Copies of this chain bind each other. A is one copy, B any other.
Amino acid sequence: MSTQAIMKWCRFELAGKTAYGIVEDDSVVPVRGTPFAGYERSAERLHLGSVRLLVPVVPGTFFCAGLNYAGHIREVAAKIGESPNLPTRAEIGYRANNALIAHGEDIVKPHDATDQFQYEGELVAVFGKKVRRVSPEQALDSVLGWTIGNDVSERSWQKSDRTFFRSKNSDTFKPMGPWFVTGLDYRSMRTIIRLNGKQVDSFNTADMIFRPEVFISETSRYCTISPGDVMWFGTEGKQENMKPGDVIEIEITGIGVLRNQVVAEA
C-alpha cells in the first residue's frame, strides 16, 4: 500500500451518464474504464460540486467484520441485554447491496423503527486484486484503496430478529463513500464521528481486535476475494440515537467525510 500514489477515486453521475473519476482538489477528472480493470484519463475536468456522487463501488461480495472493537462490543451487549462476547477468531460476516447509499443521500428511518436508531463509523477496504490464501503479510496488497462506511443499525431489531435483514440491511442503512483513496496507511488513521456538527466519538482506527490484514487473510483461507469486493471493519465506542433531521458525519484521516442526513419514512 505505502508504495502506491495517493489517488481519490469517485463514481459519479452527470446528465444520466455514470463514470469513475479522479478527484483532484475541487475537480473530478472522468476516466474511461474503471480503477479495477484499467482506465484512461479524459481531457475533461468537472466541478466536484456539479456531479452526483454514487457509492464508489457496488461490491460483488459485501464483507463486514461486525464486532471488531472491544469497547463497542461491551456497549452493544449492554444495550441489548446480553453479556459481552469478544470474538476470538476473525470470522467475517456480510451486508446487502440493497442497503447501500452514497455520500449526501438520505438515511431513511423506517416508520416502525424505535428510537434506538444508530450510526457506526467504519473503515472500509476496497479490493483491487483477486486473492485466495493470502498471508497476513501480503494481504494489504489486495487492497486498492480505503473508504468510509456507516453501518446504520436499529438495535431493537438487532436484538429481536434471527437475522440482520432489517436491523442492518434495510434500504439506505449502508452509506458508503464519498470516494476511496489509494496509497494510504490505515495504521495512522483516526475515525471521528459528528452528530449535527458535534463530535460524539473519536478513536484510533487501527485499535481493532483483528486488523484488516488478519481479516483478509483468514477470509481468504476459504473464500476468494475479488476486485470490487469491499470489507468493512467495525466501529468503536458508544453510539447515540439518530432522529429525522439529524446529520451524521464519519471522518477518517486521509479519506474524507461521509455525510448523510436522516429523514423519516414517508
Contacts and interface: CB of A to CB of B under 8 A. Distances in A.
Interface of A: 58, 60-61, 63, 66, 87, 89, 91-94, 96-99, 110, 132, 161-163, 165-166, 169-171, 219, 221-226, 229
Contacts of A163: 66, 91-94
A223 B93 contact: no
Nearest 7 A-B pairs (CB), nearest first? A170-B222, A166-B222, A93-B163, A91-B163, A92-B165, A98-B223, A91-B162
Nearest to A67: B162
Given A92-B165, A98-B224, A171-B222, 12 more contacts: A60-B98, A61-B98, A89-B162, A94-B94, A96-B223, A98-B226, A132-B171, A166-B221, A169-B223, A170-B222, A171-B223, A171-B224
A110 B224 CA distance: 13
Copies of this protein in the complex: 2
B110 A222 contact: yes
A197 B58 CA distance: 41
B60 A223 contact: no
10 contacts: A60-B97, A60-B98, A61-B97, A93-B165, A94-B165, A98-B225, A165-B223, A169-B223, A170-B222, A171-B223
Contacts of A87: 162
Contacts of A222: 110, 165-166, 169-171
Contacts of A89: 161-162
A243 to B, nearest CB: 19
A96 B84 CA distance: 27
Q: Which of A161, A169, A170 has the most CB of B within 10 A?
A: A169
Contacts of A223: 96, 98-99, 165-166, 169-171
